[in-house]
Structure 1
Amino acid sequence: MRVLPFAVYLAFIALTELLARLGWTAAELRWLYAVKAATVALALAVFWRHYTELHIFRLRPPRLLFALAVGVVVLVLWIGLGADWMTIGTSAGFDPTTNGRIDWALVVVRIAGAALVVPVMEELFWRSFLLRWLDNPDFDTVAPAQVTIRSVLISSVLFGFEHNLWLAGIVAGLAYSALYMRHRTIWSPILAHAVTNGLLGAWVVHTGSWSYW
């Protein structure tokens, strides 16, 4: 239930790459992101009743503010850790412009997907599931505070190499894992992740740095 939405997300990435190899242009594939985000959101909705850790929001104001601050710090590091040796290949990114003009519908879809859907999907997979599963296949019995450093390192490295900016991804994985362990609720890394992705979207649109998408 925590793997399937993530698997759907990866399947759409593979589909996008396949269609690109078959001759589809990046402009023609832009709206596929909306389908991807909607499909992942549907999968999350179908299994929502099983995500018991999401049913109760347990973050007091100081911890809430700390999680939001971590999201901002990760954003700054994400933008700064972009040297050639810190990246894998090149990223075409997501360019929402048509004839030099921004298509704001595409921007809204992209930011909504990145800030509202992706953080829930990825944190359920990487932190709620994989981080704890690496310590015990019966992962539900592992309390966030009991996760081992070994699992944090492995999951964070894997999370990093899921992204083009691998070093920034590892740093983000470590930060989100630390929040999960410290606050003992998956809502903390979800909120931090949402802040990072949402503000990154605003920065990308403001600067035109489409490769960061």
Structure 2
Amino acid sequence: MTRFDHMCASGAFALALGGLLCLIPDAASAHIIRGAQGGFGSGFEHPLTGPDHFLAMFAVGLWGAQMGGRPVWSLPVTFPLIMVVGGILGIVGVPLPFVEVGIAVSIIALGLAVLIAWHPAEWIALLFVSVFAICHGYAHGAELPYAADPADYAIGFVVATGLIHLCGIGVGLVLNRPLGGRLCQALGGVIAIGGLYYLVA
């Protein structure tokens, strides 16, 4: 193993450990806003402190980088756009059952897509992530009316989501090269295990 491969392996281990540590917080409180939230700052903080959302957003960027080509940017751009649709459904109170289950399944499915290095046609990948984006958007749209400044909260949330996507893309581009991309696939497996945790929790 070269020095570069060793560094990548160490980085992958650190990311995997970080992902597992993300599972420690109580999953039941992931989409509950307590009291009046402050706006942009609270919206920006929420995706970074909600491990379920973080893992899904990270996996989208990771999968896009693994696929290469247009999906590197089309997947991370499509996900938040479709989240807006789900958010509107949540704000107006359209019933959507099993949203939390859908969020957990999204983490499992996206992690498995990376684990098996699935390379479907781009439109299939976009449809795949869009279904899960509805669930994520709905959960946060339903809580949005309770924020002190819903518009600023939403902006902060979207900005943080984009940064998580970029983080996933960066890590994917680095880990997809050494060892035939197996480090990237292994990280997908860790993400899928995180989704399984949320599903049973």
In the superposition, the TM-score normalised over structure 1's length comes to 0.37
Richer in helix (by share): 2
In the superposition, the TM-score normalised over structure 2's length comes to 0.39
